[in-house]
Amino acid sequence: MDRRAFLAGLAGLGALGRAPYGGAFRPDGDAAPPADGLPKGGTARPAGGRPGPYALVLGSAQDGGMPQAGCYAERCERARAHPRLVTSLALIAPEAERVYLMDATPDLRAQMDLIDAPGFRARAQARRPFDGIFLTHAHIGHYLGLALLGRESLAIRPTRCFCTPAMQRMLRENAPWSLLVDEGRLTFPEVPLERWFDVDGVFEARMLPVPHRPEFSDTVAFEVRGPRGSVLYLPDIDAWEAWDRDVREVVDGVDVALLDGAFYSADEVPGRRVEDIPHPLVPHTMALLQDRVRAGRRVVFTHMNNTNPMLDDGSVEAAHVRGRGFEIARAGMRIEL
């Protein structure tokens, strides 16, 4: 058993109690949705019918959430009334009644409440909320929520888990995650790296290896295609220059790119070495992709650290990002697939 992974898991799950999930709580700091139930830029509903397949943003904060444990700066104090949940997506096909989870975060309990797909709550009560779970890597914001699906909580029925062999080994060989595997609650279909595979006849996906701190597993991004659109989910990378792909070409291949927006400035984390927690800075990413955005590609920043001023809607930085045509992810955002 990897003691560090287990202790990290316990620390992350402790954050579950930090947000007031009842009453007037609005996750991710969102304003109330418009009357049609769809945030601005969301998926249109066909006349008289259910919406087509879409990706639903379930959170946009870095692994520690917002507010982060031990943060009492003004931004964190404001966020205690309107928290931002940890970065995650749901892939939803209403007609096929399929729901997939992309990254299982410490905020999973609240995030499941955001999923309004037909029949979702009934199937969750029947212990089969998801048709599959996609995992990018083994940092705490991306897999700790699996613990809430085990024997002590929801006790899910067998569910496919799409991840790399290294991520599988991490789950198989370390408690408490190994119990999910031993009891057959998580199964691992063989999926190729860098090649498209059919998920269910509605969605197809592929895993793209990404350079990011490999303490416990490797890291991937996911591209997902539906019948009407495509999305890239890439919440973590050390540097665009360290990737063996050109991010501009990858963005050219999708309709919407959700990208690592952890830090706006290298000066955000006093007392810590940015080299120990490498991420591309938002202004650098915008410089690389400005021409793609002008050409009509949607680039949405997600996975923002609690220090990132983009989390403040009224900040100069947030206005600058939006003024250049980029977007900032929020829970409830829908992307047509």
Distance between CA atoms of 201 and 178, rounded to whole angstroms? 30
Q: Which two tokens stand for residue 255?
A: 């309709």
Residue 5 pLDDT level (bands cut at 50, 70, 90): very low
**54 against 31, higher pLDDT:** 54
Those residues whose C-beta lies under 8 Å from the C-beta of residue 125, and which sit 6 or more positions away, are none
Whether 177 contacts 170, CB under 8 Å = yes
pLDDT value at 25 more than 90: no
Question: Which residue is listed with tokens 């998926």?
Answer: 43
pLDDT value at 274 more than 70: no
Distance between CA atoms of 70 and 76, rounded to whole angstroms? 9
**221 against 19, higher pLDDT:** 221
Distance between CA atoms of 316 and 274, rounded to whole angstroms? 23
42: exposed, middle or buried (C-beta count within 10 Å: 0-12, 13-18, 19+)? buried
Q: pLDDT of 278-293, one tens digit each?
A: 889 999 999 999 999 9
Residue 28 pLDDT level (bands cut at 50, 70, 90): low
**177 against 10, higher pLDDT:** 177
pLDDT value at 15 more than 90: no
Single out the residue of 26, 131, 160 nearest to residue 80, CA to CA: 26
What is the chain's length?
Answer: 337
Residue 313 pLDDT level (bands cut at 50, 70, 90): confident
Q: pLDDT of 94-112, one tens digit each?
A: 999 999 999 999 999 999 9
Distance between CA atoms of 109 and 256, rounded to whole angstroms? 26
Q: pLDDT of 54-84, one tens digit each?
A: 999 999 999 999 999 999 988 899 999 999 9
pLDDT value at 126 more than 90: yes
3-state secondary structure of 197: strand
What's the rounded mean pLDDT across residues 19-36? Answer: 39
pLDDT value at 45 more than 60: no
pTM assigned to the model: 0.86
Distance between CA atoms of 112 and 161, rounded to whole angstroms? 17
pLDDT value at 21 more than 60: no
CA-to-CA dists, residue 279 to 62, 141, 189, 267, angstroms: 11, 15, 30, 13
Go through the domains of the chain in sequence order and give each one's CATH number. 3-19+50-336 (3.60.15.10)
Distance between CA atoms of 254 and 282, rounded to whole angstroms? 20
Residues facing residue 90 across a β-bridge: 56, 101
Residue 8 pLDDT level (bands cut at 50, 70, 90): very low
**Straight-line distance from the first to the last Cα atom of the chain, in angstroms, rounded to the nearest whole number:** 40
Residue 33 pLDDT level (bands cut at 50, 70, 90): very low
CA-to-CA dists, residue 328 to 23, 154, 204, 334, angstroms: 26, 32, 25, 13
